[in-house]
Amino acid sequence: MKFKVLLIIFTSFLSLHGETFFSDREQCIDWSIVPPDFNEELKKPYIDPFCAELCNEAGEAVRIEGETFHAEKTVPAKEASSSGSRAMAPVTDIIESSRPNIEWSVSFGKIFWVVIIFLFAYLIIKYFTKALEAIAEKWSGSRLFIKRVIPVFRLVAWITAIYTIIAGVLAPPIETILAVTASFGIAMGFASQDILKNIFGGIMILFDNPFQVGDKIQVGNHYGEVIHIGLRSVRIVTPDDSTVSIPNSDIVSQSVSNTNTGEFNCQVVAEMYFPAEVDLDKLKKLAMRAATVSKYVYLKKPVAVIFLNEVHQGRSMIKMRLKAYVLDLRYEFPFLSEMNHIVMTEVFKAGLVTPEQMR
């Protein structure tokens, strides 16, 4: 009776601990590591050293998922380590083979020629631009055309110089160009947003052509003749002979008034106030004659006189607008001054108004 009880206890012990024992051995097997040699011997799953100790302790063959493992054929720790190394070898080879082989360096000779080409391009652009400006001033008939060629020439010259430096002197691999371009683009995008806006604005001005060098434009509170169109800004000369630089981003984001739109002549408007009782017919004839006798007038376009009734300095006054075209836009303000002078002189001589009425 005691023997039967002991046998039952022993059988229960084996049923409980034997299941845990075999489940531990199944967890020791690494089915994902298979050596690169596809022979039948190496296709067998790899058992780590802990599983080998379990098999040795069992002293018998263990069958796991259709494979039979014997204690004397378990893999030692050193062999397991070398087998794992062989399994990882193909991954390392793939990484090494996919790594780009870039053989490129910047030598002193390359730096020297980059500096030489850059200085040469700078001097050529500078002195050739000055020569074109001098020719434009001497040939008044072709002044606007020559000055409009200067910004295009400057842009093409710099692009050619940069391309020569990159492709002819430095000659970096395409991988380096892509990497540098990407890095430069990210850096410029974060650090130089205003500069990029101005550069793209300058390119848009050159292609959209809202105005050209030599035109008279009004941008905001600034009015004057365009003397330079660059990648960063546009420079104009005001009537007070002041040079104003306007960023390209400001120009493309607001309205621009062009006075002459590529022509030599432009309209000049002289505004004068007279008492309400003045003879408008005589005043109109006098104003028309004053405009047509000026040496600056462009007679191929009409002269017009417009009268408006406005309140000026608390009084009801007649506002006269004398509109005529100047022969050359550079004489805009001398022409304006001369029309005002002739009209006021003739008005007082004709007795249309008195000095007391103009006060």
- pLDDT of 312 reads 82
Structure tokens at 271: 């505004």
Query: pLDDT tens digits, residue range 5-30?
Result: 444 444 554 444 444 444 444 444 44
CA-atom Rg of the chain in angstroms: 46
> Which domains, ranges and CATH numbers included, belong to the chain?
2-98 (no CATH), 266-358 (3.30.70.100)
The overall pTM is greater than 0.85 = no
Could you identify the residue written with the tokens 């072709």?
142
Query: pLDDT tens digits, residue range 249-301?
Result: 888 888 899 988 888 889 999 999 999 888 999 999 999 999 999 999 999 99
**pLDDT-based confidence at residue 72 (cuts at 50, 70, 90):** very low
Q: Is it the case that residue 192 has pLDDT exceeding 70?
A: no
**258 three-class SS:** strand
DSSP bridge pairs for 29:
47
CA distances from 180 to 127, 170, 176, 177, 191 (A): 32, 13, 6, 5, 16
Q: Which residues contact 155 (CB under 8 A, 6 or more apart)?
A: 206, 231
Rounded Cα–Cα distance for residues 234 and 245 (Å): 6
Q: Exposed/middle/buried for 199, CB within 10 Å: 0-12, 13-18, 19+? A: middle
**pLDDT-based confidence at residue 104 (cuts at 50, 70, 90):** low
Report yes or no: 310 and 319 within 8 Å, Cβ to Cβ: yes
Q: Which of 171-180, 308-317, 324-333 has the highest mean pLDDT?
A: 324-333
Averaged pLDDT, 158-168? 87
What amino acid occupies position 309? N
